[in-house]
A and B are shown apart, each in its own frame.
Chain A
Amino acid sequence: MTKVSQSELAPPGDQQLLIEGASCASCVNRIETALKQVPGVSDATMNLVERSVMVSGNAPADSLVKAVEGAGYGATVPASSSDQETLAQKRQDDERHYQRLIRNMFWALVLGVPLMGYGVAGGSMMVTSRMDQLVWLVVGLLCLGVMVFPGRSFYINAWKSLLNHHATMDTLIALGTGSAWLYSMLVVAVPELLPAAARHLYFEATAMIIGLISLGQALEVKARGRTSAAIQRLIGLQPKTARVVRDGTEIDLPLEQLLVNDQVRVRPGEKIPVDGEVENGESAVDESMLTGEPMAVPKSSGDPVTGGTINKTGTLLFRATRVGSDTALARIIQLVRQAQNSKPAIGRLADQISAWFVPAMMIIAVVSALIWFNIGPQPTVAYALVSAMTVLIIACPCALGLATPMSIMVGIGKAAEAGVLIRSGDALQKAAGLTTMILDKTGTITEGAPRVTDIHLAGSLAEAELLSLVASLEAGSEHPLALAILESAREREVALSPVSEFAAIAGQGVTGTVADKTLLFGNQKLMAAKDIDVQPVAEAAIQMAERAETPVYLAVDSQLVAVIAVADPIKTDSASAIRRLKQAGISVVMVTGDNPVTAAAVAAEVGVDEFIAEVSPEQKSEKVVELQTRGERVGMTGDGINDAPALAQADVGFAIGTGTDVAIESADVTLMRGSLHGLADAVAVSQATLRNIKQNLFGAFVYNAAGVPIAAGILYPFIGVLLNPVIAGAAMAFSSVTVVSNANRLRLFKVGQSQ
C-alpha cells in the first residue's frame, strides 16, 4: 500500500527500481519483458552495470516489484528523497514490526503462562512415569512451535551471526532458550540417562523468555519512536506544496519541483515553503519553531524568509533563493540528525565493552556451569544447566549499548527545539563540563547595532558639517561604528564628499582626507599616537563611557573638534541569561575591543564577573588559551565570523546567530536566536543530557555487574537463592526498555528563562 502511495507521489514519467540477482545480459531481457507486461508501463530500460531499471508510465511501484520478483529476481524501490515520505514509511515499518512482536509475545505467553502457573501452583515439572513422558512430549512439541514461529528470528539471527563470527543478543537468547528446550526434551525422551532428581523440565522458561523478550522489544520500538520526536517535528515543518507564480498564473507545485528564483505566494496562516527574499507585501512571520524566539518577526520587501516558518498577518510574495536540500531547514535537519547519531567520549567505554560482551558472557556461562557441575549440590546437572541458562538470558548488552545514543538522540533534539543546534555528542559533553564562558560584547551581550547617541563639540565646526565629514570618511568602512555614523548621517540627510588616502589602523580607528581636510577618527590611542590633546573633552568622554557608550574622537587637521558617543544597546535579556549561566556554575568573562570604562559599565549592567577591554580578535583567542592553561574548560560565544579563531580555540565554540540565516556549519554549537538565553539553554540541556547518560550507563553497568553473578548463583552458598531463568528473561527484557524510557524522560526537561 505504501508503495502505491509512493508511486503516486513520484513525478509522473520515470521511476527507478534497484534489481538484485541479475548478472547476465539475458536477465536484462527477462526483467524488461516482465515489466513491460505490467498494465500502465510504457517502457522499461535496464542498466546492468548499475543494477537498476528505469520504468516509464504510471504503474504502482509494488506491482513493478512483484513483476520482477515473478521473473525470478529481487527488486526494491530506492530510498525516497523526501524526508516526510521516509518518515511516514518508517512509522509504518515500525508499526508493523511492533504488531509482529506483540503477536509473537501473545502466542509465546499463551503457552508459557499456563505452564508457569502450573509450576508455581505446585504442579510437578518432573518426569516420573510413562504418562508424564507422553504429556510432556506434547508440551515440548508445542514449545518447539513457539520457538519456530514467534521465536524464529532469534535462532536465525543467532545462526547467521555465528557463521559470520559475531555474537549478538540473539545468540544469548537462542543459546539460553535452546539449551533449556534441548535439556527438557532429553529428560522427556530418555529420562533414565539422568539421575531422578535432575529430571526437571524447563519448557515454561523457553516459552516465557521468548514471550517476555518479544514484549520488551515491542515496548522498545514504541519508546524509540518517541526519542526521535524532535527530528520528526522539524521534518513536519516543511509543507508539501508551494503556490508558485509562473507566467502570471498561480499554480500549486510539489516542493520538489520548486526552482531557485521561482516567485512564491504565501497567504496569512500558511507555512513558508522554502528560503527566499520578500519581493512584495508586508507581514509578521513566526520563526519560533526554528529559533525558539517567541516574538513574530516583521517582514517586508528585501527581508529574508525561511522555509518552515509561519506567515501570520499579511500576504507575501517572495523569490525562492534556496530550495531542496539547500534550505536552512534541510541543513538543520541534516545537522541534528548527524549530531544525534554521534557519540560523546563518555559512550566509547560502553562501546568497547559491548564488542567483547557476548562471547565473554558465553564463557562465564560455561564456567558457571562447570563450577556447579563439579562442586554444586545434587542434582548437579540441573543446577549447572539452570545457572548457565540464566547467565545467558540475564546478560544484556543492549542496555549498555543503548545508554548513550538514546540520551544523545533526545538531548540534541530537545536543544534543537529551543533553537540550539549542537554539532556533535562530543560538543554536548564538553558543553556540560564548561567552567568558564567568554562572551564577546558586541553583538553577543549587546544588540550589535550601534547608533550615535551624542555629539560633544570641541571646536568651531557645526554638527552637520562635522557629521558630513566623518560620514564621508567612513563611507567605505564596514565597521559597526562606521555603520552607526552612516545611519546617523542618513537620518539627518547630510551630503557626503569623496574620501582619499583612507587608512584603517587596527584597534585604533581610521584616517583619511575629505574636502582637503585631514581627518582622524578613533579612540584615545589614535589621538595619543598623533599627539592630539583630548583634554578639552575628557570629562564628556568619561561620562559617555560611564553610560556604557563608546566615545570616539574626531580631529580635523590635527585639531580635536568633537567626541561622538556611540552606544550599542544591551539586549534586554542578557542580564537574566548571564545570571542563569552563573547559577549553572559557570564563571562569565566578557571580552571587548572597547575602552575599559565602557566595558566596565556594560559588565556592571549585565553582571559579569570579569571583563577584558581593548582586545583585538587575535588577543581573544590568546585569552582562551590563557584560561585553558589555568585548567578552565572554556566556552567562547561570538558572532562566528570575527571571533572565528577564538571560537575554534575554545573547548566549545558557540556562534550566536540572529535569525535563521546563519552559517550553521561554523561552530560546535549554533544559537539560532540572538538571545543569550539560547546559550543558557544549551548549557542546561547539555548538563541534563550528560546526567541522563550517566544514569543510563550506571544502571546498565550495575544491572549486568549484579545480575550476571546472581544468575551464576553467587548468592546460593550464602542464602540458598538461585535465580529463576524466567525472572532473568523479564529483567533482561525490561532493562533496555528502562534505558530508553529514562532517555525519554529528558523530553520533559524544560528549557527557557524559568529554569
Chain B
Amino acid sequence: MIGLINLVGLVLIGLIVWWFWLYRPAAAAVQSAEGGEELTIRVESGVYLPSRIQLPAEEPATLRFLRKDSTPCAEMVLFDDLEIAQELAFDRTTDVHLPPLPAGRYPFTCQMKMYRGELEVVEKA
C-alpha cells in the first residue's frame, strides 16, 4: 500500500513535468491568420483561446482580443519582445496591431505571466 502511494506520487510529479513543461501542442492546435485578416482571441477563464497563433512573417497583422474575464489579471496583454502593452476592456474587443515581424516565437502574457499565449511567426512556404 505504502509502495503504491509512493509510486502514485512519483507518477504525479512526472505528469506535472510533462503536462506543464514538456508538452508541445500539435500543429493542428495552432490558429493561423493570413493576409491582414483579424483573428479573435478570447480571454476567458484564465486562458487565451486560442493560445497559439501562427502568423506569416514580414506582414502586419491584427489580433482582436475579446475579454470575457473580469478578473483584474485579464485586463492587460503584454507582448514583452515587441514592447506592446494593451489594456483590454471587459466584454469588448480590443485590437492589437502587430508590425511586420521576422520569423520567431513571440509569447504574450498577462502582467503576472499566468495567462499565456504564443505567436508563431513563420516564413511563408
Is A622 an interface residue, CB under 8 A from the partner? no
Knowing A157-B45, A366-B9, the reply to whether A167 touches B20 (Cβ < 8 A) is yes
Q: Assess whether A153 is interfacial by the CB under 8 Å rule.
A: yes
A424 to B78, CA, bound (A): 14
Within 8 A of A (CB), among B1-56: 2, 5-6, 9-10, 12-13, 16-17, 19-21, 23, 25, 38, 40, 44-47, 49, 51
Query: Mostly helix, strand, loop or mixed at chain A's interface?
Result: helix
Q: A750 within 8 Å of B by Cβ? A: no
Q: 1/0 per residue B39-83: CB within 8 Å of A?
A: 010001111010100000000000010100011100110101001
Which of A50, A86, A168 interacts with B46 by CB under 8 Å?
A: A168
Chain A residue at minimal CB-CB distance from B95: A79
Min CB gap A45→B, angstroms = 19
Find chain B residues with CB under 8 A from A401 CB.
Answer: 111-114
Q: Tell me which of B10, B46, B94 has the highest count of chain A C-beta atoms within 10 A of its own C-beta.
A: B46
- B12 and A79: CB pair below 8 A? no
* Interface membership of A337, Cβ < 8 A: yes
Measured between alpha carbons, how far is A94 from B13 in the docked complex, in Å? Answer: 38
Chain A: number of interface residues, binned into ranges: 35 or more
Cβ contacts A638-674/B at 8 Å (1 or 0 each)? 0000000000000000000000000000000000000
Residues of A within 8 A of B123 (CB): none
Asked if residues A76 and B92 are in contact (CB atoms below 8 Å), the reply is: yes
* Alpha-carbon distance A217/B6, docked complex (angstroms): 36
Contact across chains for B16 and A165 when beta carbons are under 8 A apart: no
Give the residues in chain B near A18, CB-CB below 8 Å.
Answer: 64, 66, 93
Are the CB atoms of A165 and B19 closer together than 8 Å? yes
Which of A78, A162, A164, A362 meets B51, CB within 8 Å?
A164
Q: Are B70 and A164 in contact (CB under 8 A)?
A: no
Contacts of B51 in A (CB 8 A): 164, 166
B114 and A397 within 8 A (CB): yes
CB distance from A100 to the nearest CB of B (A): 8
Measured CB to CB, the nearest residue on chain A to B52 is A164
**Measured CA separation A374–B6 after assembly (Å):** 8
CA distance A351 to B107 in the complex (A): 12
A340-374: CB near B (< 8 Å → 1, else 0) gives 11110000000100111011001100110110011
Asked whether, in the complex, the Cβ of A359 is within 8 Å of the Cβ of B17, the reply is: yes
Question: Is there a chain B Cβ closer than 8 Å to A90's Cβ?
Answer: yes
Interface string of A106-144 (1 = CB under 8 A from B): 000000000000000000000000000000000000000
Chain B residue nearest to A355 in the complex (CB): B113
Q: Please, which residues of chain A bring their CB within 8 A of the CB of B49?
A: 164
A745 — which chain B residues lie within 8 A by C-beta? none
Judged by a CB distance under 8 angstroms, whether A169 is at the interface is yes
Query: Chain B contacts of A93 at CB under 8 A?
Result: 70, 89-91
Question: Which residues in B have their C-beta under 8 angstroms from that of A158?
Answer: 46
**Which of chain A's residues have a CB closer than 8 A to the CB of B40?**
20, 51
Residue of A nearest to B24 (CB): A165
A405 touches B93 (CB 8 A): no
Q: 19 new A-B pairs (CB below 8 Å) besides A221-B72, A397-B112?
A: A20-B66, A51-B40, A79-B93, A80-B92, A89-B89, A89-B90, A161-B45, A164-B49, A164-B51, A165-B23, A166-B115, A166-B116, A337-B87, A351-B80, A366-B16, A367-B9, A398-B112, A401-B114, A405-B111
Q: Would you give 23 A-B contacts (Cβ < 8 Å), ordered by A?
A: A18-B93, A76-B92, A79-B93, A79-B95, A90-B89, A157-B46, A159-B45, A162-B19, A164-B49, A165-B19, A166-B46, A166-B115, A166-B116, A167-B20, A168-B114, A217-B71, A343-B78, A363-B16, A370-B5, A370-B9, A374-B6, A397-B114, A400-B112
What is A's interface to B at a CB cutoff of 8 Å?
18, 20, 50-51, 76-80, 86, 89-90, 93-94, 96-97, 100, 153, 156-162, 164-170, 217, 220-221, 224, 337-338, 340-343, 351, 354-356, 358-359, 362-363, 366-367, 369-370, 373-374, 397-398, 400-402, 405, 424
